[in-house]
Structure 1
Amino acid sequence: MEPIIYVKNLRKEFKSHSSRSGLKGAFRDLFTRNYTLKTAVNDIEFSIHKGEMVGYIGENGAGKSTTIKMLTGILTPTAGTVRVNNMNPHKEREKFVRSIGVVFGQRSQLWWDIAVQESFRLLKKVYNVPDEFYESHMKDVIDTLDIRHLLDQPVRKLSLGQRMRCELAAALIHNPPLLFLDEPTIGLDVLVKLKIRDFLKKINEKYGTTILLTTHDLSDIEALCERVIMLDEGKIIYDGALRELRENWGEGKQIQFTFTEGAKLEELQQLTEGTLVVWEQGDNEAIWLAGVDNDENMISEVIGKVASSKKIIDMKVVEITTEEIIRNIYEEGAVRHG
């Protein structure tokens, strides 16, 4: 089956002007300018098939948004191949935009001063959506996102959470087979996030909608995506199952100790000498985390050594979170492909 997104050797470079110092340098800049090239996306390759929900993650400046802008036709690649819905996004722009939905957490596609439902009607005309389909499809979308009571309000009067739900509905007016979400839950409270996640799961199940999600909130990725693509300095450093990422990198556990009084790192290291433990301070001097292998004997040994010398008021064993796993991968500069 042909992928819905196909990317090969994709590169994007930006040229920026670098000023010379001093008055003499400023005068020279009037006639000849110095330029530097920055590679935002560096020869990446991946493909995504219909119905997949994929998390596209990375630190700030890793190249996530630049990739999304090339995939949606906003930016032209410097080099490489991009095929989305079997089209070239920046060369077949008018036809292409009718086949995708896009939600940018920082930008709005709704008209600020008119009622939400008027924005929906305008977008219906833009996408040439038939009346009968619009009525049945949007009734389902509006009810699922719980925005019917917002339809008569101007967008400028909506809270951030209300606006994001309306933005999501607007992106789905033409029921596109592919949905790009760039930080769609940024700044939202937990209940709104849960509503949006549930809705995305429903449209994926009902219509087979393919979703590419970029976010800094890894709980969104864990709730929605079985596969992640991880970017660092414009290069893909991991492309595979989230489950495998956790299995390969999250094998250990953390024992959280809360002591009756503060503890010192050197003291704890001395207590657990001879065992493979990585100590890390928690929110204050009384809380410490012991990173250990996922081995019952090891965990028991560490707890026994600490409990025999320190007074403990609370203790719990926790799985290492996806966020910590990803942080460790970036810190180690590791490269793995699933």
Structure 2
Amino acid sequence: MQNGIHVEHLSKHFKVHEREAGMGGAWRSLFRRQFRTVTAVDEISFHIEPGEIVGFLGPNGAGKTTTMKMLSGLLHPTSGELLVGGYKPFQQKAAFKKRITLVMGQKSQLIWDIPAMETFLVNQAIYEIPDAQFKETVGELIDLLELEPLLKKPVRNLSLGERMKCELAASLLHRPEIIFLDEPTIGLDVNMQETVRRFIKAYNERFNATVLLTSHYMADVTALCKRVIIINHGKILFDGDLAALVQNLAPYKVAKLTLSAPVEREHLQTYGEILHVEYPEVSVKLPRADVSGASAKILAELPVQDFTVEDPPMEDVIGLAFAGESA
């Protein structure tokens, strides 16, 4: 598994200091400190093949970032087996570091007061990138991310989206084969999010890079990932095909109607569960197994001006996964 990821029964526990509020609690904690063990990641197992782009999803506190940090060698696991590109990440071998990168949307490696190109040169030295390869890679990244106008500006003068593009470039100068992306589009506008997605997809196709992506923007996941892993409370709830997840958890589609005349709510309910009514807009759930028949009936019997059928929003599907766990 040269560029793949192998995780078997991986766990991470943290010891957390606890004390009572107030001066009394502070005083007692000086002599008898109380701790409790928090399980951030609990016996998870998964395998990612070389060249796959996999979505790693879960709510805040689910264990996503802790897992990413173990995969990239920033944290030592409490137990379990972990191999990334054939290496044990926590051993921090130089050869391993040259094969991976971790991009965190809320963290920056760019040097604030100087142009991004200066950070690129620093990374060239750190990763010992030959001049010819560095020049070629920088040229490719400039073209893919449209960086030319940005390279001579101090980082502090760049917009959030411009900084994120430079951040991606800095992280990929050494041509990593395994990429961990933690919220890479957070805070970006819609156009910049799309630019980043196109770039990630192009890089994956060009270098057959393995990508593990966390994001709260489901558009990132649907655009890039055929497979998703869903984690909550440190445990994996689902690992498989994204389309199968939608099929299993949401066996319906959403019909959106624009009506040319009002229709009684009671009559609309005969066509399916009503999600929204605000004349002239109506949304109705249709059974996935009978979308064609239900759609034909609606078009034949209702004063429809416009009609579309869509899958339910991915946010709703993921929410159903979490609701099923707690049920």
The TM-score with structure 2 as length reference comes to: 0.89
1:326, distance to aligned residue in structure 2 (A) = 1.5
1:287, distance to aligned residue in structure 2 (A) = 5.0
The answer on whether the counterparts of 2:72 and 2:101 sit within 8 Å (CA) in structure 1 is no
The answer on whether the counterparts of 1:73 and 1:93 sit within 8 Å (CA) in structure 2 is no
Match of 2:202 in 1: 202
1:317, distance to aligned residue in structure 2 (A) = 3.3
Q: Counterparts of 2:219 and 2:273 in 1: how far apart (Å)?
A: 25
Counterparts in 2 of 1:30 and 1:143: CA distance versus 1, 3 Å: same
Q: Counterparts of 1:13 and 1:287 in 2: how far apart (Å)?
A: 50
Q: Counterparts of 2:306 and 2:206 in 1: how far apart (Å)?
A: 46
Match of 1:326 in 2: 318
1:258, distance to aligned residue in structure 2 (A) = 5.8
Counterparts in 2 of 1:2 and 1:163: CA distance versus 1, 3 Å: closer
Higher-helix-fraction structure: 2
**CA root-mean-square deviation:** 2.7
The answer on whether the counterparts of 1:237 and 1:334 sit within 8 Å (CA) in structure 2 is no
Match of 1:90, SS state, is helix
Q: Counterparts of 1:120 and 1:2 in 2: how far apart (Å)?
A: 27
**1:208-229 superposed Cα distances (whole Å, 9 cap, x missing partner):** 1111111111111111111111
- Structure 2, gaps ≥5 residues long: none
1:288, distance to aligned residue in structure 2 (A) = 4.7
- Is 1:290 the counterpart of 2:287? The answer is no
- Is 1:7 the counterpart of 2:7? The answer is yes
Amino acid at match of 2:284: A
Amino acid at match of 1:297: G
Amino acid at match of 2:275: E
- Is 1:154 the counterpart of 2:135? The answer is no
Aligned pairs (5 A) from 1:87-126: 87-126=87-126
Match of 2:90, SS state, is coil
Match of 2:38 in 1: 38
Q: Counterparts of 2:3 and 2:125 in 1: how far apart (Å)?
A: 29
The answer on whether the counterparts of 1:229 and 1:240 sit within 8 Å (CA) in structure 2 is yes
Match of 2:211 in 1: 211
The answer on whether the counterparts of 2:268 and 2:274 sit within 8 Å (CA) in structure 1 is no
The TM-score with structure 1 as length reference comes to: 0.86
- Is 1:163 the counterpart of 2:155? The answer is no
> Higher mean Cα deviation, 151-160 or 240-249?
240-249
Amino acid at match of 1:328: L
Counterparts in 2 of 1:224 and 1:290: CA distance versus 1, 3 Å: same
Q: Counterparts of 1:21 and 1:303 in 2: how far apart (Å)?
A: 64
Match of 1:279 in 2: 274
Q: Counterparts of 2:190 and 2:319 in 1: how far apart (Å)?
A: 23
The answer on whether the counterparts of 1:53 and 1:213 sit within 8 Å (CA) in structure 2 is yes
Counterparts in 2 of 1:289 and 1:333: CA distance versus 1, 3 Å: farther
Amino acid at match of 2:27: F
The answer on whether the counterparts of 2:11 and 2:79 sit within 8 Å (CA) in structure 1 is yes
> Higher mean Cα deviation, 202-211 or 153-162?
202-211
Q: Counterparts of 2:311 and 2:5 in 1: how far apart (Å)?
A: 34
Aligned length: 325
| Percent identity over paired residues | 38
> Higher mean Cα deviation, 104-113 or 94-103?
94-103
Amino acid at match of 1:290: V
